[in-house]
Amino acid sequence: MNSPISITGFASISPLGATPKEIWNTYLQFDKHCISLHPFSEEATAIAALQTKENILLQEVKESVSHYANVDRSVLMGLFAARKAMENAGWKKGSHFGINIGSSRGATQLFETYHKEFIETQKTSTLSSPTTTLGNISSWIANDLETQGPEISHSITCSTALHSVLNGVAWLTSGLTDKFMVGGSEAPLTPFTVAQMKALKIYAQDTSAEFPCKALDLDKKRNQMFLGEGAAVFCLEKGILPNANAMISGIGYATEPLTHNISISTNADCFQKSIKMALGDTSLTDIDAIVMHAPGTIKGDSSEYNAITHVFGKQLPFLTTNKWKIGHSFGASGALSMELAILMLTHQKAIPVPFIKNDQYPKKLKTILVNAVGFGGNAVTIKMELP
């Protein structure tokens, strides 16, 4: 990157909470996860859902504009996070800034509802389109914030949010706009979505365990991914600004050839390339921590770890992930990992995975890498630093 990018505002809503203080306090509960059990097809299933307080906040968003009565949950979460992020950055409604809020699945809940209606009646409600289109989230946010800039939507499965960061950086460095809002929103806690993940044999089954998801545990014998919901949004501006929460100083991306629809190579060639690209000329010893994608699957966790060891050798940075705590939120997961990185930099405290032994915590946190990868090996790495 020729010029660093400032993150001048950020916000999120997830099972962790809806304010930086709440979220950080939840992370500080090192041995507590956000998993609850919910019956899907009469089977107790581990999920990480928003709590009552956060659901009330979404209801307030829904009631704030009459048009929002019929939008998907993913849109409401995106609207909440976008409003707060803009407020925190000091941006004004009606100003010129771009928006790219991605989602892996989009309006999942609404789509399933309308599809069920169609199967039963062979008809569908008038508002079934365009409220179920993938571009729904960014479009509603652009309308809500009255932006005069470009508006982009996309889905690149689980690396969607970090791909939106790539897009924002590209627009800013091109000089086409001075400000860009990026992030991801996902509401995948629906019967069909959960059934799909269970069909892939990757869903956590031991719901009675102390930690139903052993993300980053390389000795686990079965896949233990589970789903969570949430949204996180960041306001990006070019250069080093005095109100920056953190800096983006490097970006990397790569895609590897498919051998299976959800495959990734044993040593995650895509991650090796994206990490090296994000590093640029940065010394390996300058990386203090990596927030890993680590979805809780055997292959996903081990391949990413192998990629990191191929790049860093025996001198590994501090490794962590938040998926054991809040689940996998697909297209929003990379954004929630970025938020964790910002909070760790801000508070100068590394957040561990409770069942992973760490012999040494970093004495300082100046530079952190954040990883994400989607089905098909679409890897992204973002290098973040203190301002």
Say how far apart CA 94 and CA 117 lie, in whole Å: 38
pTM listed for this prediction? 0.96
Tens of pLDDT, residue by residue over 1-20, are 888 999 999 999 999 999 99
CA distances from 10 to 73, 84, 294, 339, 370 (A): 20, 7, 23, 8, 16
Say how far apart CA 13 and CA 187 lie, in whole Å: 11
Is the bond into 130 cis (omega within 30 degrees of 0)?
Answer: yes
Residue 261: the pLDDT is 52
- The closest of 293, 341, 343, 332 to 15, measured between CA atoms, is 332
Tens of pLDDT, residue by residue over 53-112, are 999 999 999 999 999 999 999 999 999 999 999 999 999 999 999 999 999 999 999 999
**Distance from chain centroid for Cα 199:** 23
How sure is the predictor about 25, in pLDDT bands with cuts at 50, 70 and 90?
Answer: very high
Residue recorded with tokens 């959960």: 194
Residue recorded with tokens 């009631």: 63
187: three-class secondary structure by DSSP: coil
Residues 6+ apart with CB under 8 A from 22: 16
Q: What is the mean pLDDT of residues 222-234?
A: 97
Tens of pLDDT, residue by residue over 273-306, are 999 999 999 999 999 999 999 999 999 999 999 9
Say how far apart CA 78 and CA 13 lie, in whole Å: 9
Say how far apart CA 147 and CA 97 lie, in whole Å: 6
Helix residue spans in the chain (DSSP H): 20-27, 52-64, 73-89, 108-121, 128-131, 136-145, 160-174, 191-199, 269-279, 298-312, 323-326, 333-347
Q: Which two tokens stand for residue 216?
A: 């980053």
CA distances from 263 to 222, 267, 292, 377 (A): 17, 12, 18, 7
Write the single-letter amino acid at 378: N
Residue 180 above 60 pLDDT? yes
CA distances from 258 to 2, 270, 277 (A): 32, 11, 21
How sure is the predictor about 257, in pLDDT bands with cuts at 50, 70 and 90?
Answer: confident
Residue 262: the pLDDT is 53
Q: Which two tokens stand for residue 181?
A: 């809002």
CA distances from 113 to 117, 139, 186, 227 (A): 6, 21, 16, 19
**To 10 degrees, what angle do helices 136-145 and 73-89 make?**
40
Question: Right CATH number for 5-385 from 3.80.30.20, 2.60.40.1930, 3.40.50.300, 3.40.47.10?
Answer: 3.40.47.10
CA distances from 199 to 124, 157, 193, 194, 276 (A): 28, 17, 10, 9, 34
